[in-house]
Amino acid sequence: LEPDASWCEPGGVPASPLGNGGAFGGKSTSMAGDVARRLADEHGRAVRVVLSREDTVRLGPKRPPLAIGVGADGAGVARLARPSIAADEAGLRASIAAVAPAIDVEFVDVAGPEVSADLRGAGWAEVAAVLSSLHDAPDRVVAPNGVTASAWWEDDRLVVDVDCGDALDDVVLRSYCLGAAHMALGMVRSEGLAVGVDGVPLDLTVRSFGVLRAVDTPQIDVRIARSDGEPVNGSDAVFAAVLAAAWRRDGFAPRWPSAH
C-alpha cells in the first residue's frame, strides 16, 4: 500500500499518483494531484504532496460491499452498498452486466467510504465467482475484456490457467497473476476493513487488513495459454477465477472473509 503522492510546479501538470504504484485502481481518483497543483499555484513554487498511510486508507476508494443471490438458471440480484451519490453506479452496472446480464443490480444507501468501479474486478468478479459455483470445477471465468481464466486445486496446490492473447512478457504476466491469486485468496479467507457507524474506516494499518500471510499462501502454479490475439490484462480474470476456486475450496461459506 504505497501512499498517494504527487508533485507540481505553478501552472504545471501534476505528476500522476499512479507513478507511485496504482493500488489496483485505488489511485485513479486520488486528490493528491489536484492538491499539489492548487498549493503550487497558491505559493508560487513547486509542491510535493504525500498522503500519510492512514489518510490513504481513510480517503481512498474501496470495493463496494455487496450481497448476491442467484438461482440455478443464473438469474438473480446483486445489492451493492452506495455510501454517497458519488458512487460510480454506471460503471459498476456496466461491468456486472458484461459478465452476468441476468443479474439485476440494486444499490443500498449505507454509511461508508467512497466506492469505485476502477478497483480490480469491482463487483463483476464477485458476481462471476458466485455464478461459477453453479457448475462443477474447474472454475472458469470470462472477464469483461474477453480474457478467460480457470482455477482449480490439485491437492493443496492452486493451479491457474489464463488466456490473454499473445503475452508480451511471460515473467511479468505470471507475477501479476500470482499477485491477483494472492489477493483473491485473502479476500475470501482473511481480509476485511472495519468502519465506524459514521462510515469512517477504523482499520488504518496494513497489518489490520488481514492480508494473507506468505506462510498461509498455498503453492500457486500459473499456466499461460498460447494464442494469437492482442495482449490484454489477464490478472483481473485470474482474480475472479481464484475467488471462485477459493470459495469452493472453503465450502461456499455464506460470508467473506470466511475466517471471520
Express as a percent the part of the chain with pLDDT over 90: 78
> Residue 174 pLDDT more than 70?
yes
Q: Of 35-49, 83-97, 113-127, 210-224, which gets the smallest average pLDDT?
A: 83-97
Please give the pLDDT value at position 85: 62
Q: How confident is the model at residue 1 (pLDDT cuts 50, 70, 90)?
A: low
pLDDT band at 26 (very low <50, low <70, confident <90, very high): confident
pLDDT for the residue 223:
97
Indicate whether 210 pLDDT > 80.
yes
Supply the pLDDT for residue 83: 87
Taking the C-alpha atoms of residue 89 and residue 142, their distance in angstroms, rounded to an integer, is 22
pTM comes to 0.91
Q: Which residues contact 44 (CB under 8 A, 6 or more apart)?
A: 10
Question: In which band, very low, low, confident or very high, does the pLDDT at 146 lie, cut at 50, 70 and 90?
Answer: very high
Quick: pLDDT tens for 63-81. Answer: 999 999 999 999 999 999 9
Residue 212 to residue 180: CA distance in whole angstroms: 12
Domains of the chain with bracketed CATH: 5-59 (no CATH), 66-249 (3.30.365)
| Concatenated DSSP letters of 68-101 | EEE-TTS-EEEEEEE-STTS-HHHHHHHHHHH-T
